[in-house]
Amino acid sequence: MKLNKLALVLGLGLAVVAGSASANQGGGQVTFKGSIIDAPCSIPPGSQAFEVPMGAIATSALNGGGKSIARDFNIQLEQCDITTLKTVQTTFTGIPSTSVTDGLAIAGTAKNAGIVITDYNGTKIALGAKSPSQTLLTGANTLRFQAYLQGDDDAANKPAVPGEFDAIATFALSYQ
């Protein structure tokens, strides 16, 4: 009888320990965000908001209206259906630069320079203007662009001032 009671007590003790071990071992919440757009292509999350690292650019590269090395960036499209709309143009907008014609203003401690956005062939795309049309393929597509930092148009009177900078451009796609 004592042996049965001991087995019962041990069994209940193990049940309590096992129950508490699986009680709360962590958890959380998953939020799914997105939007539904009226377009022939979807835009994956990595192409809706991203950064283009420009690097640490020497003032000597910018003085005299000089330019940094152009940095490639892409806008990915997926699940494109080209049944009716077969091309796309991209329009970039943002705060216009007072230093560089058709460029994007920089913010921060760096001064007398601006960001220039180009198509992949290096042709400048003015802020607010549509890029050349790019032909779409069924499925995935990559819209290729470049950006560089350019010194002030009035380089003789406004040399580049060292410091940190950033610039924000938004893009809109227009399908034809």
pLDDT tens for each residue of 12-48: 555 555 555 567 889 999 988 999 999 999 999 989 9
How much is the pLDDT for 23?
A: 79
Over 60: is that where the pLDDT of 9 sits? no
How much is the pLDDT for 12?
A: 53
Question: Under CATH, which number does the domain 45-175 receive?
Answer: 2.60.40.1090
How much is the pLDDT for 24?
A: 83
The secondary structure of residue 122, as a DSSP letter, is S
Give counts: helices (H), strands (E), the chain: 2, 9
Dump pLDDT digits (tens) for 108-161.
999 999 999 999 999 999 999 999 999 999 999 999 999 999 999 997 889 999
Dump pLDDT digits (tens) for 55-108.
999 999 999 899 999 999 999 999 999 999 999 999 999 999 999 999 999 999
Question: Which tokens is 115 given?
Answer: 């960001």
How much is the pLDDT for 155?
A: 73
How much is the pLDDT for 19?
A: 52
Q: Which of 120, 123, 131 is nearest to 92 (CA)?
A: 131
pTM of the complete model: 0.82
The CA angle 106-47-84, to the nearest 5 degrees, is: 120
What are the Cα distances from residue 55, in Å, to 71, 119, 131, 145, 165?
A: 9, 20, 25, 17, 10
Over 70: is that where the pLDDT of 10 sits? no
SS (H, E, C) 60-118: HHHCCCCECCCEEEEEEEEEECCCCCCEEEEEEEECECCCCCCCEECEECCECEEEEEE
How much is the pLDDT for 99?
A: 96
Q: How many residues does the chain have?
A: 176
How much is the pLDDT for 172?
A: 96
DSSP labels for 148-170? EEEE-SSTTT---B-S-EE--EE
Over 60: is that where the pLDDT of 7 sits? no
